[in-house]
Structure 1
Amino acid sequence: MQPKQLLIALFICIGLWSCKDADKKTEKENLQTFVEPEPLKEFGFVLEDYIVKKDTIRKGDSFGEILERNHIGYPRIFNIAEKAKDSFDIRRLQVGKPYTLLCANDSLQTPQCFIYQPSLEDYVVINFQDSIHAYTSRKPIKFVEKVATGIIPKGSGISMLMEEKGLSPRLAYKMADEIYAWTIDFRRLQEGDRFKVIYTDKYIDDSIYTGVNEIKAVYFEHNKDAFYAFEFETDSVKGIKDYFNEEAKNLRRAFLKAPVQFSRISSRYNLNRRIKYYGYKLRPHKGTDFAAPIGTPILATANGTVTESTRRGGNGKYVKIRHNATYSTQYLHMKAQNVKKGDFVKQGDVIGWVGMTGNTGGPHVCYRFWKNGKQVDPFKQKLPEAEPISDSLKVKYLEFIKPIKERLDNIQFEDNAITIPSEDDVLTSKIQ
């Protein structure tokens, strides 16, 4: 073989060897970078170990009928129900709520576990694949802190601005009704009014968005005046939080203006009311009617204790709350109540939903207001301001808000800004 041919053969061998070496290196890299995915889990179970059947409770469904449809006999159903009753009453299944059956991964697909979800967060497990046991738990919850800013454009309100920028309308509701209800009239915002807000969003299982959890701090500029608001816990035992400004003054009054959000007054308190239908006889109206669609949440207008949650005559379903020795409120014609007698409720808590029970010509809530045992017009009362921050807490509060205010002041205004912090700033609460 000629020297030139030997040289060419040598280069070919080196090239083949390099390619082979590169292939081995690539194969090794692929092996190193491949990570087996985590098995899909829900409710604490590895789903691939079962045949999973998901459905919702339908009208007429019962625990026994659901299991019988899935080939479990009544003697065993009775046994399961008896052993689970101390942890969960199977009669409490509600129409429309989801449930999951984890079935054996075989041809018979026999149910081994029943999981019921009374809410997005909470679930009940009745496990009968080996021994029978039941327990309640909650899905992992994550709170993600976010920052948003906005500038009110000409001819637009804050709700429209939120929608245009992809922000939750709940931000507007909370600022208007919970924080600045007695400070800023959100129906009369001006072009150029602007805000900066620090808040947290709530997620279940990392992926299910359930809305704004809480607002931590706000800077709102209205008519060139600055209004700060900082959330602060004033009673750790009852979990009561209020909003105060940079000087520790409470921004709220003791009572909300209305028990439903963004509603209209359809009938006012009127002791001289006469109705044509009743022959113009005097029929005093000792409440204020707020018209709203059926199912609209009804809010407690102040902190207090539920003294009645029942149904009676023309009042229909109603709730009555004693706020202190002076004031009580009542909420009539509910579709359903969300509280029971003896419950302590906080201002803004949902105590029921608008309905048409009792004597009513349309969906609304009749809001009644007592002062010293006498029904009065709440709009003609000089209502007390909310509890001021105590002297012992004031120093703590001012120290607490110092870094938050500094952070708020350093946020730049942008017309469409919404930012999510780094992974280190995400507040996470995982419940196994």
Structure 2
Amino acid sequence: MKKLSTLILIIFAFLACNDDNVVEEKQKEVAVLKTPPQVKKYGFVLNDYEVVEDTIRPGDSFGNIMGEQGVSLAKVYEISEKVNDTFNPARIVAGKKYMILKAKDSAQTPQFFIYEENKIDFTVVGIGDEIKAYKKQRPVSVKKREVSGVITSSLSEAMQDQGLSNLLVYELSNIYQWSIDFFRLQKGDQFKMVYHEKYIDDTIFAGVDRVEAAVFKHSDKPFYAFEYETDSITNKSSYYDDEAKALQSFFLKAPLDYSRISSRYSKRRYHPVQKRWKAHLGTDYAAAHGTPIVSTADGTVIAASYTSGNGNYVKIRHNNKYTTQYLHMTKRNVRNGQAVKQGDVIGFVGSTGLATGPHVCYRFWVNGKQVDPYRQNLPTAKHIEDAHKDEYYAYIKPLKEQLDQIPYKNI
């Protein structure tokens, strides 16, 4: 009997001990489940702070934002004075994201203000005991891509059909702005590219890094473009074709970045305002009011004025041979005698003078005679010198082969 009692006691003790182990293990599991995952951003472990995330709204100021978090005006002034060289609080922009990290104490004292310049660049401002500011970047990786597209109505739609970023539209138009008039693309024109995209944390698209090589078939003629470094000291690169000729030209193809041509050069056109047939020795680019108008080449402004026919206009002499004029501006952005560079904004699209709608009339003179700029053999930038051509051809050979192996997309 004593032996049986002892056995029962041993069994109960074992079961009790086992139950204690089970409870302890379950408590450990619960503890593990309750521990939140560590979240890192901007170089901080966010779990260590009370986090406030928001976006700058129109009318917001750094002082107002800080005041809402309990920072005194005196402290705001002190912060502004100490960090102004790195971060100017007066220049925060509506639409930009920001984060405030606050101490996990009863006062929840603000410690850091983080301002996103863009998806990659940000500024950290210490607003606690130590006031300082520094700029940093989120880690970025670059991925190489290939794409092929075809024009059905516009370059933008061709990119959208491929599910591509509109940033590639800007990249292509910038590369070919001297050699292809993107306002005169034809249905069936094709393009191929080898380019690089930037990603944050390997997943968040952060823009186009660069286009390494491209070919644009316009009117059945292929226009090749290869990025090539011509200055190893400044790391400056430009685009050249498959014959080592520079794509850059003395003149841009158009005075606007994006619009459409409503009326081309003609010696006889029915004037929509004067209701009569007359010569129209310019090219009309229709665009929304306020669209920037740029100088198509370096030069000097020889007229920035107004007439009843031209409206607000600017005329630029580029050298002894070439002169251009830009009509119907809503506002001029240069003055007479001012030197301008290719691509400088000289005014904004309007409908002043004899105009039925917002557009810029672009006029072109060669040796004092008004002509169609699209029929001129205009000077280009410096080509690759003969002594360096073999090196260039060796560099572009694998890129050209890669481009040529990408199948063209058809309608």
- Verify same fold: TM over 0.5: yes
Aligned-pair CA distance for 1:157: 5.8
3-state secondary structure, aligned to 2:185: helix
Q: Tell me if 1:196 matches 2:186.
A: no
Q: 246, 250, 255: which one pairs with 2:246?
A: 250
Q: What is the alpha-carbon distance in structure 1 between the residues aligned to residue 347 and residue 38 of structure 2?
A: 41
Q: What is the alpha-carbon distance in structure 2 between the residues aligned to residue 312 and residue 38 of structure 1?
A: 65
Q: What is the alpha-carbon distance in structure 2 between the residues aligned to residue 107 and residue 246 of structure 1?
A: 68
Q: What is the alpha-carbon distance in structure 1 between the residues aligned to residue 392 and residue 75 of structure 2?
A: 59
- Unaligned residue ranges in structure 1 (runs of 5+): 1-35, 417-432
Alpha carbons 2:140, 2:200 under 8 Å: kept: yes
Going from structure 1 to structure 2, the CA distance change for 1:374 and 1:414 (only over 3 Å counts) comes to closer
Between the two structures, name the one with larger relative contact order (CA 8 Å, sep ≥ 6): 1
Q: What is the alpha-carbon distance in structure 1 between the residues aligned to residue 130 and residue 365 of structure 2?
A: 56
Deviates more, 1:140-149 or 1:245-254: 245-254
Give the 5 Å matches for 1:72-91.
72-91=71-90
Aligned-pair CA distance for 1:256: 1.7
Aligned-pair Cα RMSD in Å = 5.1
Q: What is the alpha-carbon distance in structure 1 between the residues aligned to residue 62 and residue 215 of structure 2?
A: 51
2:383 counterpart residue number: 388
Q: Tell me if 1:397 matches 2:392.
A: yes
Going from structure 1 to structure 2, the CA distance change for 1:213 and 1:88 (only over 3 Å counts) comes to same
> What do residues 219-266 of structure 1 show as CA deviations (whole Å, max 9, x unaligned)?
445666544321223345666533322221234432222132341356
2:164 counterpart residue number: 167
1:8 counterpart residue number: none
Q: Tell me if 1:118 matches 2:113.
A: no
Aligned-pair CA distance for 1:180: 7.4
Give the 5 Å matches for 1:262-281.
262-265=258-261
Q: What is the alpha-carbon distance in structure 2 between the residues aligned to residue 331 and residue 205 of structure 1?
A: 46
Q: What is the alpha-carbon distance in structure 2 between the residues aligned to residue 235 and residue 189 of structure 1?
A: 38
Q: What is the alpha-carbon distance in structure 2 between the residues aligned to residue 335 and residue 166 of structure 1?
A: 37
Aligned-pair CA distance for 1:384: 1.5
Give the 5 Å matches for 1:274-313.
290-293=285-288, 301-302=296-297
3-state secondary structure, aligned to 1:79: helix
1:213 counterpart residue number: 209
Q: What is the alpha-carbon distance in structure 1 between the residues aligned to residue 72 and residue 312 of structure 2?
A: 40
1:129 counterpart residue number: 128
The one-letter amino acid paired with 2:64 is E
Structure 2 length-normalised TM? 0.65
3-state secondary structure, aligned to 1:96: coil
Alpha carbons 1:354, 1:363 under 8 Å: kept: no
Going from structure 1 to structure 2, the CA distance change for 1:331 and 1:203 (only over 3 Å counts) comes to farther
- What is the number of residues matched between the two proteins? 361
> What do residues 247-300 of structure 1 show as CA deviations (whole Å, max 9, x unaligned)?
212344322221323413568999xxxx999x99xxxx9997643235756666
The one-letter amino acid paired with 1:53 is V
The one-letter amino acid paired with 2:392 is Y
Going from structure 1 to structure 2, the CA distance change for 1:63 and 1:227 (only over 3 Å counts) comes to closer
Alpha carbons 1:253, 1:385 under 8 Å: kept: yes
Larger Rg: 2
Deviates more, 1:349-358 or 1:255-264: 349-358
Q: What is the alpha-carbon distance in structure 2 between the residues aligned to residue 248 and residue 221 of structure 1?
A: 18
Q: What is the alpha-carbon distance in structure 1 between the residues aligned to residue 90 and residue 332 of structure 2?
A: 19
Q: What is the alpha-carbon distance in structure 1 between the residues aligned to residue 324 and residue 185 of structure 2?
A: 26
Give the 5 Å matches for 1:139-150.
139-150=138-149
Q: What is the alpha-carbon distance in structure 1 between the residues aligned to residue 139 and residue 326 of structure 2?
A: 35
- Unaligned residue ranges in structure 2 (runs of 5+): 1-34
Identity fraction in percent: 44
2:407 counterpart residue number: 413
Q: What is the alpha-carbon distance in structure 1 between the residues aligned to residue 208 and residue 171 of structure 2?
A: 9
Structure 1 length-normalised TM? 0.63
